[in-house]
Structure 1
Amino acid sequence: MTVTKAQALVRGLVVQDADPVADAEALEHLALWILQRFAPIVAADPPDGIVIDSTGADHLHGGEETMLDALIGRLAMSGVTAYAAVADSWGAAHAFARYAAWPTYVAPHRHGATVLEALPLETLRLPAPISSDLRLLGFERVGDLLAQPRAPLTAMARFESSSRQS
């Protein structure tokens, strides 16, 4: 949507130029704030995320759900809207935070893959053209890809690898 159209739809809309450097600095400050309060291992995940390894720390906050609620609540009181998820892997937590958390989500241990199957392809963090091409082929969800046989893909990858070496 163009800025002029957005301003016509939303009275008093304030428009500012993007400042990626300031955004990255703010994300680093937010990660440090979380590090001091919630978990021993925290890192910024630009452009808009923070990775938290709460292993061994979530019980100090009353468990995973309580910890996420406290984190999201403190951020909300500071004027920051956020979504958070806990899962068995970083990739799964990334996907759940962006596509399943309202505002928090705790994936069932060892069963997160089942929940991931229902999420859109974009949860796989594929480049946009690949997601678009997969959609043209009829794939909509992660589960659609998981249902496909892997052998042809493995054979093709081996062929491409050997042809590059020749």
Structure 2
Amino acid sequence: MTIHIDLQIETENPALPSPEQLSLWANSAHQAKKSEAEVTIRIVGIEESADLNQTYRGKDGPTNVLSFPFEAPPGIDIHLLGESSIGDLVVCAPVVEQEAEQQSKELIAHWAHMVVHGVLHLQGYDHIEEEEALIMEGLETEIIMELGYPAPYQDQDTSQ
């Protein structure tokens, strides 16, 4: 089964991944492979990312990826066309580009990592506690390497 993507591009940037690449990465990170699912991926600029980061996390400035897991209102079972939404990802294109450059990573590999990272968050994975971080980062590394990219946490601090 697959994740279907609702793609929203809210920034002008010629270096964005294709819808097919985003779909491949999201599907590679989808852990409940026996069910159909939907995810919204919204690609934004600095201002929208900073606004959302401040509103929902109380943190100043833009961030690479924000994840908003879907929660149905109490007592309501919502399924769209037989699919269930796992939530929304908001990816800030300029931050992803800046991080890739700072970390000497290929841009496409960093995009793949951010989508995989975000989709795992939507499924309940986290990296706040060290034990959780080891599990999530191990899974991210496995998925990213299966996609043919280098391990995402090589030669860098893993406390993202």
On whether the aligned pair clears a TM of 0.5, the verdict is no
Give TM-score, length-normalised by structure 2: 0.29
Which structure has the higher relative contact order (CA within 8 Å, separation 6+)?
2
Greater strand share, 1 or 2? 2
Give TM-score, length-normalised by structure 1: 0.28
Greater helix share, 1 or 2? 1
